[in-house]
Amino acid sequence: MPEQPTDRAALRRANLAWVIGVLREQGGLSRAQLAVLSGLSKATVSTLVTELTARRLVRAGGIAAGGQGRPGQIVELDPDGVRGIGVEVGIDHIAVTSVDTAGQVVSDRRVAFDVLSAGVDQTVYQLAEVTHRELELVDDAYPAGITVSVPGLVDTARGVVRLAPRLRWREVPLADSLAGQLGFPLERLLVDNDANLSAMAEYQIGGMRGTTDLVYVTGDFGIGAGVIAGGRLVRGAIGYAGEVGHMSMDPMGPQCSCGRRGCWETQVGLGALFHALAAPGDLVSDPNRPIEERMAMIRARAERGDQRTLGALHQIGSALGVGVSIVVNVLSPAVVVLGGYFAALPDWLIEPARIEVAARAVVAEAATVRVVGSDLGFAAARTGGALAALNRVYEDPTEAPERTEMTEAPA
Amino acid sequence: MPEQPTDRAALRRANLAWVIGVLREQGGLSRAQLAVLSGLSKATVSTLVTELTARRLVRAGGIAAGGQGRPGQIVELDPDGVRGIGVEVGIDHIAVTSVDTAGQVVSDRRVAFDVLSAGVDQTVYQLAEVTHRELELVDDAYPAGITVSVPGLVDTARGVVRLAPRLRWREVPLADSLAGQLGFPLERLLVDNDANLSAMAEYQIGGMRGTTDLVYVTGDFGIGAGVIAGGRLVRGAIGYAGEVGHMSMDPMGPQCSCGRRGCWETQVGLGALFHALAAPGDLVSDPNRPIEERMAMIRARAERGDQRTLGALHQIGSALGVGVSIVVNVLSPAVVVLGGYFAALPDWLIEPARIEVAARAVVAEAATVRVVGSDLGFAAARTGGALAALNRVYEDPTEAPERTEMTEAPA
């Protein structure tokens, strides 16, 4: 039987969340338009807008032109009131991003950091430092939450990194440690897998946003997939879906960080790229240089026809396509988004990958899957984390504290 | 905003469907119990029960003992009023199953039929014959629908088999043809992929029913997977998810029906089994013998230690595990159900498969995935089809015609 809402506070929260949701979808709207869309009275809408204004989630915009009735003031999201923060641990870097309630990135920093040499404790300390600085930058905006992206298997309920082979982490209680060092509320600090967060970022704000059957493949030292099926993230029974990097592609292949041989990521990970195209000491594999700069160096070499570079890229692109075709045959997504370094070298990696995927499709229609590079590039995971951190406020706007008098609402 | 139901007919249908749903879950209930659970008045419940009785979806059961108030007559599903029919096309057989509204199989027949020699038209004619006989057997029960299971890629919206390599079918408008020959309403005749239907059967009535992250792998000449994630069937963007049979496992391997080499099903399909353990003319590969009988012959040979049989089974079981481990690493299900012939030879196939899956799990927890044989055996796909055919009536009980006077409802 359809349930009638009985709890007035729950109903108010649902109404507040509905207003935020419709403003996110449609941009600014007048109170009259909100009343028509919601079926609520204009008085109720005004009360909701007043509360959201006090919580700095919406603000007064311009005057609505045209339409019926007298013009009304537009209500729009207040991008400056609330922030979501995404922090990323990579094998050779730490990075942090803040997004506003409209999903726009307002700051993004990446610093070189050698996680393997530093070890767990020092890395968590450094993460706390970087995050603390970001919390200062957020200034008077309310930090709705912090999400830490990790290239590994995460118990999201407990905030524990179960296993991150490339970081050599096992059973790290990251949420507890970081919340403790920052003095940040544990319930607003999430930890999640990098591929899952990237897939959600693509789904929400990427070039293929709204594609309900989408697979995101990370292009980093490790390779993972984030799977969206029917508009929902597939985590699997114990949260470990998308571990495609350890598909066995060549039992005689090189040793993998997981202990086995010939896993897909030994063929197409960033380590395989550097190994294939760079001699020891080559600047392209220097972790202290910005990754974007190193990618530009590789593009320059490919463009001038360097044979070692072109050969390496073709080989990796083909191996990329072989693995992607397996994922496509299992899941039949509309789009496969290739992230990280794959997206930085599209002409040389994504084209050969597309050819393999098309050749291995079971049926011609299955070859219509689109294989594209991510617009979000190396920032996808932390951006997804920052967006995930906003969900608390989107779902329950009363999470954001009241910071102005209710009477200061726009007229 | 929560919508208020405004259409009285829609509300009545929703209420009728709710009653059927709660009786399916909880078995027989009194009108008083239905009223308490639904929040509807006893008068409304009585009206609903009268209508469902007239449509032969429920019937009067015993008298409810104990509880508060005076004892009431139990209302329970009427298993004899409505049937769902599942028809299955295999490379060497046609089979048909009927289920009642409680999900119990009431009839099941499998006949040897050589689809490749017969060709499309003759096969559809034979399907119509077999289905027509089943419709006669259904007698005075209402056939809610017919679902045809096909080992291939199906455009379910149009009822067209896009490609079934092992049947050598391409672009076969099966729903149209069969509905025409049977004179059965097209909107009640579905066509779907065998693995998808089997997965839904496992999810609804199999030994692992209710497991929300479950993968079913068919064990037939072709190999396909049905994927349930978060309690929902994953069809993929164009409906072709689960095409695991054509994962490339050995580029130098034998030719596959799809035109490529070394696909997984060339290693573990029923054809590979017969090729590995039977000489030409061996009765185990005679399609005119019941498949269950042939499986019993293989079990007998394995039990008495026949080396060729044991070697073949071990090799196939290991190859089975390698492919299953890929699916597990992509999807992280709680359970992988192995169907068809895999389930008939569990000791020799499923054990070696489990060993490979455990050895290839990325993390120890991922090795906790359960790999089990299907209880539904060779009947999973057609049983799933029969269950799917009932969904029309479960969702809208007014689909079932009124066949008794409303006044004949149980007192």
Average pLDDT, chain B: 90
What dihedral angle (degrees, nearest 10) is formed by the CA atoms of A409, B2, B7, B8? Answer: -120
pLDDT for the residue numbered A70: 59
Strand partners, A273: none
User: Which residues of A fall within a CB distance of 8 Å from B240?
Assistant: 332, 362-363, 365-366
Burial pattern B119-146, b for ≥16 Cβ within 10 A else e, equals ebeebbebbbebbeebbeebeebbbbbb
Max avg pLDDT among A284-293, A303-312, A357-366: A303-312
In this structure, of A234-238, A271-275, B180-184, B192-196, the range with the lowest mean pLDDT score is A234-238
Using 50, 70 and 90 to split pLDDT, how confident is the model at A4?
Answer: very low
Q: What is the mean pLDDT of residues A64-80?
A: 76
pLDDT digits (tens, 9 = 90+) for B9-59: 888 999 999 999 999 988 899 999 999 998 889 999 999 999 999 999 999
What pLDDT is recorded for position A17? 94
pLDDT per position as a tens digit, A385-408 = 999 999 999 999 999 999 876 554
Using the predicted structure, report yes or no on whether residue B173 has a pLDDT greater than 50: yes
Q: Least CA distance to A366: which residue of chain B?
A: B240
**Residue B390: which pLDDT band, with cuts at 50, 70 and 90?**
very high
**Chains A & B: contacts with CB separation below 8 Å:** 160
3-class DSSP state for residue A311? helix
- Using a CB-CB cut-off of 8 Å, the residues of chain A touching B322 are 248
- At B405 the pLDDT is 60
User: B327, A330: Cβ pair inside 8 Å?
Assistant: yes
Q: Which amino acid is at A2?
A: P
Whether A238 and B38 lie within 8 Å, measured CB to CB:
no
Rounded to two decimals, the ipTM of the complex is 0.77
**pLDDT tens readout for residues B89-123:** 998 899 999 999 888 999 999 999 999 999 999 99
Task: Provide the CB-side half-sphere exposure for B115 (13 A, CA).
Answer: 21
B340 phi-psi bin (left φ>0, alpha ψ -120 to 50, beta other): left
Q: Given a cut of 60, is residue A1 above it in pLDDT?
A: no
pLDDT of residue A136: 92
Write the pLDDT tens digit of every residue in B315-327. Answer: 999 999 999 999 9
**Across B240-261, average pLDDT:** 84
- Per-residue pLDDT band for A50 (boundaries 50, 70, 90) equals very high
pLDDT, one tens digit per residue, over A349-393 is 999 999 998 888 776 665 678 999 999 989 999 999 999 999 999
Helix extents (H) in B206-338: 264-268, 270-277, 291-303, 307-331
Rounded average pLDDT over B350-365? 82
Cβ neighbours for A176, distance < 8 A, ≥ 6 positions apart: A159, A186
Take residue B60 and report the two structure tokens written for it. Answer: 């009067």
Give chain A positions within 8 Å (CB) of B237. Answer: 211-213, 332-335, 369
Paired residues of A29 in beta bridges:
A75
CA-CA distance, A65 to A320, in Å (whole number)? Answer: 52
Q: What confidence score (pLDDT) does residue B313 get?
A: 97
Of the ranges A248-257, A379-388, B176-185, which one carries the lowest mean pLDDT score? Answer: A248-257
Q: Do A366 and B238 touch (CB under 8 A)?
A: yes
Which CATH number describes the domain made up of B82-197+381-395? 3.30.420.40
Least-confidence region, from A95-109, B64-78, B171-185, B224-238: B64-78
Percent of chain A residues topping a pLDDT of 70: 93
Q: Within a 13 Å sphere around the CA of A237, how many CA atoms are in the beta-carbon half?
A: 21
**Per the CB < 8 Å rule, is A330 touching B329?**
no
Gap between the Cα atoms of B234 and B226, Å rounded: 8
**Which residues lie across from B163 on neighbouring strands?**
B153, B170
Among A236, A258, A366, select the one facing B333 at the smallest CB separation. A236
Nearest to A331 among B5, B163, B241 (CB): B241
Rg of chain B, C-alpha, whole Å? 23
Please report the pLDDT score of residue B69 as a whole number.
55
- Give the closest-approach CA distance of A330 to chain B in angstroms: 4
pLDDT at B406 over 60: no
Tell me whether the CATH fold assigned to B8-78 matches the one assigned to B207-375: no
- Under the banding of pLDDT at 50, 70 and 90, the label for residue B409 is very low
Q: Torsions phi, psi of A109, nearest 5?
A: -135, 140
Nearest-by-Cβ selection for B1 from A38, A237, A260: A38
DSSP B255: B
Among the ranges given (A57-71, A214-228, B261-275), the one the predictor scored with the smallest mean pLDDT: A57-71
What pLDDT score does A249 carry? 84
Closest in B229, B236, B329 to A244, CB measured: B329
Domain ranges of chain A: 8-78, 82-197+381-395, 207-375
Tell me the pLDDT band of A138, cut-offs 50, 70 and 90: confident
- β-strand partners of B337: B216, B372
User: Do residue B363 and residue A162 have CB atoms under 8 angstroms apart?
Assistant: yes
- Residues A272, B151: Cα–Cα separation, whole Å: 39
> Which of B162, B230, B238 lies closest to A232 in CB terms?
B230
CA B407 to chain centre: 37
**What are the pLDDT digits (tens) for B261-283?**
889 999 999 999 999 999 988 99
Judging by DSSP bridges, how do beta strands B160-164 and B153-155 pair with one another? antiparallel
A9 torsion bin: left (phi>0), alpha (psi -120 to 50), beta (else): alpha
Chain B residues in contact with A366 (beta carbon < 8 A): 153, 238, 240, 243
The 3-state DSSP class for residue A110 equals strand
Instruction: Give the 3-state secondary structure of residue A59.
Output: strand
pLDDT bin (cut points 50, 70, 90) of residue A61 is confident
Report pLDDT for B156.
93
Helices B307-331 and A307-331 sit at what angle, rounded to 10 degrees?
A: 100
Distance from CA of A191 to the nearest CA of B (A): 18
The domain defined by B207-375 folds into: Nucleotidyltransferase; domain 5 (3.30.420)
DSSP B112-172: E--HHHHHHHHHHHHHHHHHHHHHHHTTTSEEEEEEEEESSEEETTTTEEEEETTTTEEEE
Cβ <8 Å between B234 and A238: no
Query: Tell me, which fold does domain A8-78 have in CATH?
Result: Arc Repressor Mutant, subunit A (1.10.10)
The CA distance from B99 to the nearest CA of chain A, in Å, is: 27
Cα(first)–Cα(last) distance of chain B, in Å? 41
